[in-house]
């Protein structure tokens, strides 16, 4: 009887070990499948980005900032959250590095708006190309708090562009809106755009 009990215990232990091995193999397979899925999603996103860049190949090269000895009237340190076709907050522009989010330093001078970026190409918006500015809460898939985003509208070639920035000190945003609208010689309401709420509706 003791022998039979010992044998049963041995078989049970062997069964538990086999079950453990089977579970481990299943877990490995699940992890491999998940990694393959993530890789596929990343590849599709990358291809979509490249395809969008190809469609936007006709966008002219961005102008370089002139040497302007004038002191900037305003400066801003914060983040650049992306650019879209004006009024279409999900129509991201990726050509010429405009799709890359990054740290940014903004300077406003009589000649225009200079955007210096870390890890991505900077760009310059001539004063004549400025079309106004407003406060909003989202751009290019990035949604922030109400009025948490400074959106600058500017013309580049035949395209009107919205570029979104967020200062490290959000209280600076209204002064930038006023200064950019003054520099553009117009007001944001004269260039109606679709806000995130309008897009959602």
pLDDT in tens, 76-123: 999 999 999 998 888 899 888 898 999 999 999 999 999 999 989 899
pLDDT band at 45, cuts 50/70/90? low
pLDDT tens-place string over residues 47-69: 454 545 455 567 888 888 888 77
pLDDT band at 14, cuts 50/70/90? low
Cα 115 to Cα 24, 104, 110, 155, distances in angstroms: 52, 7, 14, 15
- The pLDDT of residue 196 is 42
The answer to whether residue 7 scores a pLDDT higher than 90 is no
By mean pLDDT, which of 37-46, 59-68, 127-136, 188-197 is the weakest?
188-197
pLDDT tens-place string over residues 147-200: 899 999 999 988 999 999 999 999 999 999 999 999 988 544 444 444 444 333
- The pLDDT of residue 89 is 83
pTM for the complete prediction? 0.67
- For residue 150, what are the β-bridge partners? 135, 165
Residue 24's Cβ-count burial label (10 Å; 0-12, 13-18, 19+) is exposed
Residues whose CB falls within 8 Å of the CB of residue 197, separated by 6 or more in sequence, listed in order: none
């Amino acid at each position: 009887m003791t022998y039979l009990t010992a044998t049963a215990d041995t078989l049970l232990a062997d069964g538990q070990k086999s079950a453990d091995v089977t579970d481990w193999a299943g877990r490995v397979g699940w992890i491999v499948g998940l990694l393959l899925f993530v890789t596929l999603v990343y590849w599709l996103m990358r291809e979509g980005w490249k395809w969008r860049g190809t469609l936007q190949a006709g966008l002219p090269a961005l102008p370089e900032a002139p040497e302007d000895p004038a002191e900037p009237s305003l400066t801003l340190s914060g983040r650049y959250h992306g650019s879209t076709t004006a009024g279409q907050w999900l129509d991201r522009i990726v050509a010429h590095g405009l799709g890359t989010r990054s740290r940014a330093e903004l300077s406003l001078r009589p000649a225009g708006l200079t955007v210096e970026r870390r890890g991505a190409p900077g760009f310059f918006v001539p004063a004549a190309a400025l079309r106004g500015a407003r406060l909003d809460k989202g751009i290019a898939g990035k949604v922030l708090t109400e009025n948490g985003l400074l959106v600058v509208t500017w013309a580049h070639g035949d395209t009107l562009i919205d570029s979104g920035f967020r200062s490290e000190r959000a209280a600076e945003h209204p002064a930038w809106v006023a200064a950019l609208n003054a520099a553009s010689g117009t007001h944001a309401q004269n260039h109606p755009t679709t806000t995130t709420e309008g897009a959602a509706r």
